[in-house]
């Protein structure tokens, strides 16, 4: 597991808010794959879903609180500083300019995000810029189909050390701890006046309460008319 160059893991998402369903799998991968670090990359404007409910400033602050004390987990705020949609290919190109062409990088995705990879902006370029680590949780998740099935067949590896021997190009399916927690559930609990304690770090929950985040908003005419166009689409990128 220690052969080859140090491997950096990348985990993107809105983190609206950060919770244990993000944190425990990241720590699993840090330890099981011997990663140098896992960078949490909060997106400014997700391409496949509505904008985050909390501001970029609040989401960044919550991330920093959640990751404090674990040196292997860190925040990378470059997408929050970039205008326009937060396309992962742009982030990877930026990281390559910063870290060089030989640094092994591994983009961490859930299985649902991997299934939707072919809907990403310039998705064909992703594996030329990084490896993919697709997290598997215990239980049946169904077969892959179409483009992603062919990609997994061509690029899939079983030996994690192969990700250290080259900068990009491999796909590793890796088991992680199953935690059935979602940010949308946490927001729903808070909007309903209920406690989401034990689903996210106490320091994050304290921040949410201090800043009045995720409270139920008064109904507006727009909301009463129904969801906005595209509101049912899920973000494909992790």
Tell me which residues of the chain have a pLDDT lower than 50.
1-2, 220-238
Indicate whether 69 belongs to any domain: yes
| Total number of domains constituting the chain | 1
Position 188 in a domain: no
Evaluate whether residue 25 is within a structural domain: yes
Maximal C-alpha separation, the chain = 60
Assess if residue 44 is contained within a domain: yes
User: Domain residues for 79?
Assistant: 8-175
Q: Report how far apart, in Å, the C-alpha atoms of 171 and of each of 153, 168, 188, 234 are.
A: 9, 9, 35, 23
CATH number assigned to the domain comprising residue 94: 3.40.50.620
Per-residue pLDDT of 211-238, as tens digits, reads: 999 998 655 433 333 333 233 233 333 3
Structure tokens at 69: 């004390």
**pLDDT at position 154:** 96
Do the domain assignments include residue 238?
Answer: no
Task: Give the tens place of pLDDT for each residue, 178-209.
Answer: 899 999 999 999 999 999 999 999 999 999 99
Considering the domain boundaries, does residue 97 fall inside one?
yes
Order of strands across the sheet that contains 131-136 = 73-75, 37-42, 8-13, 105-110, 131-136, 171-175, 156-157
- Whether 138 maps to a domain, the answer reads yes
pLDDT the model gives residue 138: 63
Cβ contacts of 159 within 8 Å, gap of 6 or more:
none
Instruction: Give the residue among 102, 78, 108 at the shortest CA–CA distance from 11.
Output: 108
What does the pLDDT read at residue 219?
Answer: 52
Give the model's pLDDT for residue 4. 75
Provide the sign of the torsion angle of the four alpha carbons 56, 92, 28, 140, taken in this order: positive
Structural domain contains residue 159: yes
């Amino acid at each position: 597991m220690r052969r080859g160059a140090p491997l950096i893991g990348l985990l993107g998402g809105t983190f609206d808010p950060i919770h244990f369903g993000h944190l425990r799998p990241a720590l699993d991968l840090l330890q099981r794959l011997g990663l140098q670090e896992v960078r949490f990359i909060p997106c400014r404007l997700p391409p496949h879903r509505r904008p985050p409910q909390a501001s970029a400033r609040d989401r960044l602050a919550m991330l920093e609180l959640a990751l404090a004390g674990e040196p292997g987990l860190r925040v990378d705020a470059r997408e929050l500083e970039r205008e326009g949609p937060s396309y992962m290919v742009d982030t990877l190109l930026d990281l390559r300019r910063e870290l060089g062409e030989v640094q092994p990088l591994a983009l961490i995705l859930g299985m649902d995000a991997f299934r939707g990879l072919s809907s990403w902006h310039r998705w064909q370029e992703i594996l030329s810029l990084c490896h993919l680590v697709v997290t598997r949780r215990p239980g049946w998740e169904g077969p892959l189909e179409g483009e992603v099935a062919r990609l997994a067949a061509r690029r899939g590896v079983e030996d994690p050390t192969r990700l250290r021997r080259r900068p990009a190009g491999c796909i590793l399916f890796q088991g992680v701890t199953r935690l059935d927690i979602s940010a949308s559930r946490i927001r729903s609990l808070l909007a309903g006046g209920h406690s989401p304690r034990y689903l996210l770090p106490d320091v994050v929950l304290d921040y949410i309460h201090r800043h009045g985040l995720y409270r139920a908003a008064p109904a507006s005419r727009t909301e009463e008319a129904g969801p906005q166009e595209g509101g049912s689409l899920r973000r494909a990128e992790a």
